Amino acid sequence: MKTIDEMLNLDLLTPEQHHQIGAWIARAATPDDILAMPAALWQAVERASAVMGVDADLLRPPALDAGGLGLA
């Protein structure tokens, strides 16, 4: 939900899209239920994700410093 909230705050989703997507996710009992979201809503999420670079973030390898945890 944080991601779609950010999409709304960046004006990448309309308030109505945000409401519909949030409601769909809240009703979903499984990941497959989320994947059954109507195509128009998925397209809105995909467009917003592309602008935000979400896919690039997910494909980037993790930082080896692990946030300065000092892994040995």
For residue 18, what pLDDT is reported?
97
Q: Give me the pLDDT at residue 63, please.
A: 72
Residue 60: the pLDDT is 80
Asked if residue 60 is part of any domain, the answer here is no
What per-residue confidence (pLDDT) applies to 58? Answer: 73
Q: Domain range spanning residue 49?
A: 2-54
Quick check: is 67 in a domain?
no
Nearest to 39 by CA among 52, 54, 57, 20: 20
pLDDT of residue 59: 80
* pTM score of the predicted model: 0.75
Give backbone dihedrals phi and psi of 31, rounded to 5 degrees, phi first. Answer: -60, -35
DSSP state of 60: S
How many distinct structural domains can be found in the chain?
A: 1
- Of 35, 37, 36, 46, the residue nearest 13 (C-alpha): 46
| 71 part of a folded domain | no
61 located within any domain: no
Q: Would residue 27 count as lying in a domain?
A: yes
Mean pLDDT by 10 residues, the chain (72 residues): 92 97 96 96 95 82 65 51
